[in-house]
Amino acid sequence: MDTSIQSFIVCPHDCDINLHLTNARYFSFMDLGRTLHMAESGLLRLTLKHRWKLIASAQEIAYLRELPPFHRFQLHTTLLGWDNKYCYFEQRFERDGRLYSLGHSRVAIVGSGKVLDPGRVMGMLDPDCQASELPAQIKAWKQMLSVKRQVLSRD
């Protein structure tokens, strides 16, 4: 459950017409952050060994401040917990100790075409590992995703 931290710099090709980090690149950086976190935790090694896939099923982000070209920032990635189907990550874009953007990712671990129970997978990494209760913002996000799924199932 430790936080992984990576440092980046906003390159000109990361920017949009407004000359700040474009919204699509945030998700690319979030992918890199989750990959580092999984490598540091041992989860990536385990998934490669068993030929599992780590599939992002949902992501959301709030943009608070812009990141202009050539500005350095840090991405803090934390596994907040899991339920019986997904792992939930929080990803904070920070510069000089200030929060610039806050994102969340929901990731499934898939093996042989089936979603694996993250608790069992985490138990393979550390038999004493226990999920803590998911934070209120994740519970609310899960509820919103459930409503969205109901709306989509009607179409």
pTM value is 0.92
Please tell me the total count of domains within the chain: 1
CA-nearest of 86, 80, 85 to 131 is 80
- Domain range for 143 is 3-154
Longest Cα–Cα distance of the chain, Å, equals: 49
**Residue-level pLDDT at 1:** 66
Output the domain CATH number for residue 120.
Answer: 3.10.129.10
Per residue in 28-37, pLDDT (tens digit) is 999 999 999 9
Give the whole-angstrom CA distance, residue 22 versus residue 25: 6
